[in-house]
A and B are shown apart, each in its own frame.
Chain A
Amino acid sequence: MIRRAWHAWVAWLDRRESPTALALVRILFAGVLLVDYLDLWRAGAIVPLFTRPPIGFAIGEAWLSATAAWALGAASLALVMIGAATRVACIGAMLSLAAFSHLTPDAESGLHMLARVVFVILALSRCNARWSVDAWLWRRLGRDVPAEIPAWPRYLLLLQLVWVYFSGGMNKSAGAWGPFGGFTALANALSDPHAARFAPAWVGVIYPLTRIATALTMAFELGAPLFLLAYYKGWRVRWVWIGLGVMFELGIAVGLRLGSFPYGMLALYPVLLYPSELGRGRPAADRT
C-alpha cells in the first residue's frame, strides 16, 4: 500500500504539461510586483521606508541598502517578466524582497512574503519555455525548446495558493469573522479610515450584504481543501471556489487600499486551471 502510494506520488510529480500556466504566472506575477516597485519609486518612498533613522524609519538590518535592494528587485522583476536569465532573475527578486522585509517588516503584505516562495519555485521550473527571451535565444542557438515541461512546480504553486487561503482562514481569530461577532469583519474593514478606499457611508446601505460577503469569505478560505478534492476529481464545482476567490480579490482591490496584494494573488490563479483550459494542453492528461 505504501509502496503503491509512493509510486503514484513519484509518477504524479513526473508528469509533464504545457508551459502556458507557468509562463502566464511568471509574466503576470512579476508584472504586478514590478508595478509595486515602480510605485514605491513614484511615491518617493524607497529611501524613507527602507533606511534607518534619521534618514528614514526602517528598524532592521539587511545585506543591501534601500536603493540597491530596489534596483536589484526592479531589474530582476523586469527580467523575470520578459523571461531573460529567468532563473537568476527569480533569485534576485527573492533576495530584494527579503532585504526589504528585514529592513521594515511592517511595510510588506502577505503578497511579498508569498512572492519569496513563488520566485524560488519559478526558479526551479521551466516557466521560461514559452513567451520568453530565453526560449527565443535557445531557438536562435539551435537548442530544443520543450513543448512540455515538468508539471510539479505548478502543482506546488497550486498547493501553496490553496494553503495561503486555508491558513489565512484558520488564523482569522477575531470574532468579527464568525457568527458570534455577527460576520461584521468586512463592514469594519470597509469603514476603517486607515484602510478603506471610500468614505464609509455606503457601507451602512449594503450592511447585510457585507455580512453575507464575510460569511462567504470564511467559507471560501476554510473550504480551500475542498477545491483540491474537486480539482482531483475533475468536478466543475471547483469553478465556484475560483469564482469566489476572484470576487474576494476584486472586492479587496475596489474597497480597500491594500496595494498590489489582490492583483498579485489573481496573477497566480492560472495554476488553478487544467492545462487544457488554457488552450494548449492535452485534455486526457489534465487530472490526477
Chain B
Amino acid sequence: MVRWPEIRAGLIAVAIGFGLIDGCPLPTPQGTPAWERGFVEPIRRVRDVVETPVRWMRGVFAVTQQWSLYQAPVAHRYRMWIEGQAQDRTWHVLYLAGDPDHAEDAALLEHPRVWGVWDPTNTPTIEYTAFAAWETARVLAAHPELTAVRIKMEAIEIGKGVYTPTGQFDWPYLRRRMPAPPSALGPR
C-alpha cells in the first residue's frame, strides 16, 4: 500500500519536474536569432505540450520559473524628461531623471514600483502610454500656468561612469490643456 510520504514525494517530484521544464532557458519567439530557430522552436513546442496540465497556473497566479534578474544593463539607455510649456511657449524642465535640480514629483516617479512602469528597455513598457497620459494630466492639474506638458525619453550612451546624450528623443507624449468651455468663462 502506498503511504502518504510516498505520495508527497511523488507530488514534489512532479512539481520540481514541471518547474525545470518551465524554466528551460529559451529565448522569446521574437528574440530568437534565425540560426537558432531550427532547434529552439521544436523544443519550445515540446515544452508547451508538456506544460499543458499546469499552464493555467501561469495565467492565474502569474508565476514562471524563467527568472530574468537585471537581464540587460546595456550601454544604450534612456533618460526621462518631463517638461511644461508656459504661456510664452517656452518649455521648462520639471523632471529629469538623475538630476536633483529637476525633481518634481520624484518621490512618486522614482518609487521602485512606479519606476518599472515607465523605464524602457529597447522598447517602451506596455504601460508607458497609460502612464504618460496619467502623468501629463496630473502635471497640468498641478500647474494651472502651463499650457502643455510633454514626456520624452532621451537616448543616452553609458560608458565608464558617464552618460552622454545622443540628442535623440524617443516615444514623446504631449498633452495640451483643453480650452475652457464657454460656460466656464463666467458671466457675460
Chain A interface residues toward B at CB < 8 A: 6, 9-10, 13-14, 39-40, 43-45, 48-49, 52-54, 56-59, 94, 98, 101-102, 104-110, 113, 116-117, 152, 156, 159, 163-165, 167-168, 170-174, 176, 184-196, 199-205, 207, 257-261
- Whether B161 and A102, one on each chain, are in contact in the complex, defined by CB atoms closer than 8 angstroms, is no
Say yes or no: A152 contacts B97, CB within 8 Å. Answer: no
Contact A43 B108 (CB under 8 A): yes
| In contact, A106 and B60 (Cβ under 8 angstroms) | no
In the bound complex, do residue B126 and residue A105 qualify as a contact, i.e. CB atoms below 8 Å apart?
yes
Q: Is B172 engaged at the interface, CB distance under 8 Å to the other chain?
A: no
Determine which of A57, A98, A109, A261 lies in contact with B131 in the assembled complex, contact meaning CB atoms within 8 Å: A57
Interface residue? B16 (CB, 8 A): yes
B158 touches A202 (CB 8 A): no
B79 at the interface (CB under 8 A from A): yes
Task: Tell me if A117 and B79 are in contact (CB < 8 A).
Answer: no
Partner of B62, one of A116, A167, A171, A195: A116
Given known A-B contacts A14-B5, A98-B62, A58 and B112 have beta carbons under 8 A apart:
no
In the complex the two chains form, what is the Cα distance from A205 to B162 in whole Å?
Answer: 11
Using a Cβ–Cβ cut-off of 8 Å, how many residues does chain B contribute to the interface with A?
60
The answer to whether residues A107 and B27 also contact, given A101-B62, A176-B75 and a CB cut-off of 8 A, is: no
Please give, as numbers and ranges, the residues of chain B lying within 8 Å of A44 by CB-CB distance. 108
Q: Determine whether the beta carbon of A167 is less than 8 Å from that of B25.
A: yes
- Of B42-50, B66-74, B142-150, the stretch lying at the interface with chain A is B66-74
Closest Cβ of chain A to B20, distance in Å, is 8
Question: Quick check: B12 and A152 within 8 Å, CB to CB?
Answer: yes
Rounded to whole angstroms, the CA-CA distance of A106 and B98 in the bound complex is: 21
Q: Are B23 and A167 in contact (CB under 8 A)?
A: yes
Known contacts being A167-B66, A167-B67, A201-B161, is A192 close to B77, with CB within 8 Å? yes
Asked if A192 contacts B25 (CB within 8 A), the reply is: no
Question: Chain A contacts of B127 at CB under 8 A?
Answer: 57-59, 104-107
What are 23 pairs between A and B in contact, CB < 8 Å? A45-B111, A54-B133, A57-B117, A105-B126, A105-B127, A108-B113, A110-B68, A152-B12, A156-B16, A163-B19, A163-B65, A164-B67, A171-B25, A172-B69, A186-B73, A187-B158, A187-B160, A193-B98, A194-B77, A194-B80, A200-B98, A200-B163, A202-B161
Contact of B134 among A54, A163, A173, A204 (CB under 8 A): A54
Q: How far is the CA of A174 from the CA of B108 in the complex (A)?
A: 30
Residues of A within 8 A of B116 (CB): 106-109
Chain A neighbourhood of B125, CB < 8 A: 106
Are A113 and B62 touching (Cβ within 8 A)?
yes
Give the nearest-CB partner of B6 in chain A.
Answer: A10
B54 at the interface (CB under 8 A from A): no
